[in-house]
Structure 1
Amino acid sequence: MSEFTLSDLEKIVATRAHASPDESWTAKLYAAGQRKAAKKLGEEAVETVIAAIASDRANLIDESADLLYHLLVVLKIADIPLSDVLKILEKRTVKTGLEEKASRRE
């Protein structure tokens, strides 16, 4: 059995975005637009932070899954493929984190 990836989830989000909003949470978010999807992403980010601060491992895992899912919905609405985000991350890993941050200030 192969490992589930963010690319797999991105494909599922893309497929479900065009389903009936009566049958799919993804379609409902997609139909509601970027404002609603981004608001939900923010809520999930806050819940993830709260779980991390509380050292609640199980909840942190659940909230992280919600956060990643909602991020992919926001990216889908913006028509930004995950590969564009991964390219930036790849480029940033060529340098150390401190070097990369310093180069952004220039």
Structure 2
Amino acid sequence: MKNQAVLEELWSVINDRAAHPSPDSYVSSLLTHRKGIDKPLEKVGEEATEFILAVKNGEDNRTIEEGADLLFHFLVALKAAEIDIEDVLGELAARRK
């Protein structure tokens, strides 16, 4: 699977979990948490800190793992904020001009 396809599939799964919450789904648990949007935002903060520490410590494998965790939780937080990933990607594209 190409890397872009992984991102597209992950975004699709996040959207599906938002539309059809399941008690067995981690994504659903973040999106329906009693803390509301604060829960996915807390996870973004936690993962960002772990990513920073991994980079700072020169731990390449850990940096990759934490980068993946950060990206995942960032996407969940976007969904919780009702922002589409396409809007973020569009902003990045606009900045390249």
State the TM bucket, normalised to the shorter chain: 0.7 to 0.9
What residue is the counterpart of 1:67 in the other structure?
Answer: 70
2:48 pairs with 1:40: no
1:56 paired residue number: 59
Any unmatched runs of 5+ in structure 1?
A: 95-106
Identity between Structure 1 and Structure 2 (%): 38
- Give the counterpart letter for 2:24 in structure 1: E
CA contact (8 A) 1:7 1:82 kept: no
Task: Give the structure with higher Rg (CA).
Answer: 1
Structure 2's unaligned 5+ residue stretches are none
Residue equivalent to 2:26: 25
Q: Which residue of 1 aligns with 2:12?
A: 11
- One-letter amino acid of the structure 2 residue matched with residue 23 of structure 1: D
The aligned length equals: 92
RMSD across aligned positions (CA): 1.1
Counterparts of 1:8 and 1:86, CA distance in 2: 15
Is residue 2:93 matched to residue 1:90? Answer: yes
TM-score by length of 1: 0.81
Query: Normalising to structure 2: TM-score of the pair?
Result: 0.88
What does the per-residue CA deviation read over 1:44-80, in whole Å, with 9 as the maximum and x for residues that have no partner? 0110111111111101111111101101101111111
Deviation at 1:91, TM superposition (A): 1.0
3-state SS of the aligned residue for 1:5?
A: helix
The whole-number CA distance in structure 1 between the counterparts of 2:65 and 2:83 is 24
Which deviates the most, 8-17 or 57-66? 8-17
Equivalent residue of 2:24, what SS? Answer: coil
Supply the AA of the counterpart residue of 1:67: L
